[in-house]
Protein backbone atom coordinates (compact mmCIF):
# COMPACT_ATOMS: atom_id res chain seq x y z
CA UNK A 1 0.00 0.00 0.00
CA UNK A 2 1.53 3.37 -0.94
CA UNK A 3 2.02 5.76 1.92
CA UNK A 4 1.64 9.54 1.87
CA UNK A 5 5.25 9.92 2.98
CA UNK A 6 6.58 7.53 0.33
CA UNK A 7 7.98 9.93 -2.27
CA UNK A 8 9.37 12.48 0.18
CA UNK A 9 10.80 9.77 2.42
CA UNK A 10 12.52 7.99 -0.45
CA UNK A 11 14.24 11.07 -1.84
CA UNK A 12 15.05 13.18 1.21
CA UNK A 13 18.61 12.65 2.39
CA UNK A 14 19.76 13.90 5.78
CA UNK A 15 20.41 17.50 4.67
CA UNK A 16 16.89 17.84 3.21
CA UNK A 17 14.95 15.70 5.70
CA UNK A 18 12.22 17.63 7.44
CA UNK A 19 10.86 16.59 10.82
CA UNK A 20 7.25 16.39 9.59
CA UNK A 21 8.23 13.80 6.93
CA UNK A 22 10.01 11.70 9.54
CA UNK A 23 7.14 12.03 12.03
CA UNK A 24 4.57 11.18 9.38
CA UNK A 25 6.48 8.06 8.34
CA UNK A 26 6.62 6.76 11.91
CA UNK A 27 2.98 7.71 12.57
CA UNK A 28 1.72 5.91 9.46
CA UNK A 29 3.85 2.78 9.38
CA UNK A 30 4.92 2.08 12.99
CA UNK A 31 2.74 3.85 15.50
CA UNK A 32 -0.54 3.05 13.74
CA UNK A 33 0.43 -0.65 13.57
CA UNK A 34 1.26 -0.72 17.28
CA UNK A 35 -2.01 1.06 18.06
CA UNK A 36 -3.97 -1.46 15.95
CA UNK A 37 -2.37 -4.34 17.84
CA UNK A 38 -3.09 -2.66 21.18
CA UNK A 39 -6.75 -2.16 20.28
CA UNK A 40 -7.11 -5.72 18.97
CA UNK A 41 -5.54 -7.43 22.00
CA UNK A 42 -8.74 -7.77 24.05
CA UNK A 43 -10.28 -9.64 21.11
CA UNK A 44 -7.36 -11.96 20.33
CA UNK A 45 -7.01 -15.46 21.70
CA UNK A 46 -3.77 -16.69 23.25
CA UNK A 47 -3.17 -18.62 20.00
CA UNK A 48 -3.56 -15.55 17.78
CA UNK A 49 -1.10 -14.56 15.11
CA UNK A 50 -0.15 -10.94 14.45
CA UNK A 51 1.71 -10.09 11.27
CA UNK A 52 3.33 -6.71 10.60
CA UNK A 53 4.90 -5.42 7.39
CA UNK A 54 8.29 -3.76 7.08
CA UNK A 55 10.40 -3.78 3.94
CA UNK A 56 13.73 -4.75 2.48
CA UNK A 57 15.00 -1.18 2.86
CA UNK A 58 15.27 -1.82 6.62
CA UNK A 59 18.50 -3.70 5.85
CA UNK A 60 19.37 -2.58 2.33
CA UNK A 61 21.09 0.75 2.70
CA UNK A 62 21.28 3.44 0.04
CA UNK A 63 21.42 7.18 -0.34
CA UNK A 64 18.07 8.86 0.22
CA UNK A 65 16.50 5.93 2.10
CA UNK A 66 17.08 7.10 5.67
CA UNK A 67 13.43 7.62 6.59
CA UNK A 68 12.04 4.50 4.94
CA UNK A 69 14.93 2.37 6.17
CA UNK A 70 14.71 3.61 9.73
CA UNK A 71 10.95 3.24 10.05
CA UNK A 72 11.04 -0.25 8.52
CA UNK A 73 13.87 -1.28 10.87
CA UNK A 74 11.73 -0.02 13.76
CA UNK A 75 8.85 -2.24 12.57
CA UNK A 76 11.25 -5.22 12.51
CA UNK A 77 12.32 -4.47 16.08
CA UNK A 78 8.76 -3.84 17.28
CA UNK A 79 7.68 -7.21 15.91
CA UNK A 80 10.39 -9.01 17.86
CA UNK A 81 9.65 -7.11 21.05
CA UNK A 82 5.93 -7.80 20.72
CA UNK A 83 6.62 -11.50 20.12
CA UNK A 84 8.24 -11.66 23.56
CA UNK A 85 5.75 -9.40 25.32
CA UNK A 86 2.56 -10.85 23.86
CA UNK A 87 3.52 -14.55 24.01
CA UNK A 88 2.03 -17.07 23.58
CA UNK A 89 0.46 -15.01 20.78
CA UNK A 90 2.76 -15.09 17.78
CA UNK A 91 4.09 -11.94 16.15
CA UNK A 92 6.02 -11.94 12.87
CA UNK A 93 7.08 -9.38 10.29
CA UNK A 94 6.96 -9.79 6.52
CA UNK A 95 9.73 -7.83 4.80
CA UNK A 96 9.05 -7.61 1.06
CA UNK A 97 11.42 -6.52 -1.64
CA UNK A 98 10.06 -5.25 -4.94
CA UNK A 99 6.74 -6.90 -5.77
CA UNK A 100 4.73 -6.08 -8.90
CA UNK A 101 2.05 -3.93 -7.24
CA UNK A 102 0.67 -0.42 -7.66
CA UNK A 103 3.33 0.83 -5.25
CA UNK A 104 5.66 1.11 -8.23
CA UNK A 105 3.43 3.18 -10.49
CA UNK A 106 0.52 2.93 -12.88
CA UNK A 107 -0.07 -0.50 -14.33
CA UNK A 108 1.14 -0.72 -17.92
CA UNK A 109 3.19 2.48 -17.82
CA UNK A 110 6.57 2.46 -19.54
CA UNK A 111 8.29 3.87 -16.46
CA UNK A 112 6.91 1.13 -14.22
CA UNK A 113 7.78 -1.62 -16.69
CA UNK A 114 11.32 -0.30 -17.08
CA UNK A 115 11.77 -0.06 -13.30
CA UNK A 116 10.46 -3.58 -12.64
CA UNK A 117 12.64 -5.01 -15.44
CA UNK A 118 15.75 -3.22 -14.16
CA UNK A 119 15.20 -4.34 -10.58
CA UNK A 120 14.21 -7.88 -11.56
CA UNK A 121 17.27 -8.55 -13.70
CA UNK A 122 19.52 -7.52 -10.78
CA UNK A 123 17.96 -10.12 -8.45
CA UNK A 124 19.21 -13.69 -8.14
CA UNK A 125 15.76 -14.96 -9.20
CA UNK A 126 15.91 -12.65 -12.27
CA UNK A 127 12.48 -11.08 -11.68
CA UNK A 128 10.45 -9.11 -9.17
CA UNK A 129 7.92 -10.80 -6.94
CA UNK A 130 4.29 -11.45 -7.69
CA UNK A 131 1.53 -10.43 -5.25
CA UNK A 132 0.53 -14.08 -4.81
CA UNK A 133 4.04 -14.93 -3.62
CA UNK A 134 3.87 -12.20 -1.02
CA UNK A 135 0.43 -13.44 0.06
CA UNK A 136 1.91 -16.91 0.62
CA UNK A 137 4.41 -15.40 3.06
CA UNK A 138 1.60 -13.84 5.10
CA UNK A 139 -0.31 -17.12 5.10
CA UNK A 140 2.83 -18.95 6.27
CA UNK A 141 3.36 -16.47 9.13
CA UNK A 142 -0.28 -16.69 10.17
CA UNK A 143 -0.67 -20.46 9.98
CA UNK A 144 2.63 -21.92 11.15
CA UNK A 145 2.23 -22.21 14.92
CA UNK A 146 5.98 -22.58 15.49
CA UNK A 147 7.06 -19.27 13.93
CA UNK A 148 7.25 -16.16 16.09
CA UNK A 149 9.59 -13.22 16.37
CA UNK A 150 10.72 -13.71 12.78
CA UNK A 151 11.35 -11.24 10.02
CA UNK A 152 10.47 -13.15 6.86
CA UNK A 153 12.22 -11.83 3.76
CA UNK A 154 10.29 -12.12 0.51
CA UNK A 155 12.75 -10.39 -1.76
CA UNK A 156 14.03 -12.70 -4.49
CA UNK A 157 17.46 -12.61 -2.87
CA UNK A 158 17.64 -8.83 -2.88
CA UNK A 159 19.52 -8.71 0.42
CA UNK A 160 22.29 -10.99 -0.86
User: Rounded to whole angstroms, how far apart are CA atoms 60 and 75?
Assistant: 15
DSSP 8-state code for residue 68? H
User: Rounded to whole angstroms, how far apart are CA atoms 72 and 106?
Assistant: 24
DSSP 3-state of 127: coil
DSSP 3-state of 108: coil
Which residues does the annotation mark as catalytic?
A: 54
| Angstrom distances, CA of residue 93 to CA of 33, 34, 150 | 11, 13, 6
User: Rounded to whole angstroms, how far apart are CA atoms 141 and 8?
Assistant: 31
Amino acid sequence: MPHDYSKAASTAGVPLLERDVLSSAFDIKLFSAIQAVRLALPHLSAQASITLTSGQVSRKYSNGSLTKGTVNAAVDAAGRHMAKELAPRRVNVISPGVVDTSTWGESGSDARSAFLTRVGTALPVQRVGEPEELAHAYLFAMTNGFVTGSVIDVDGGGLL
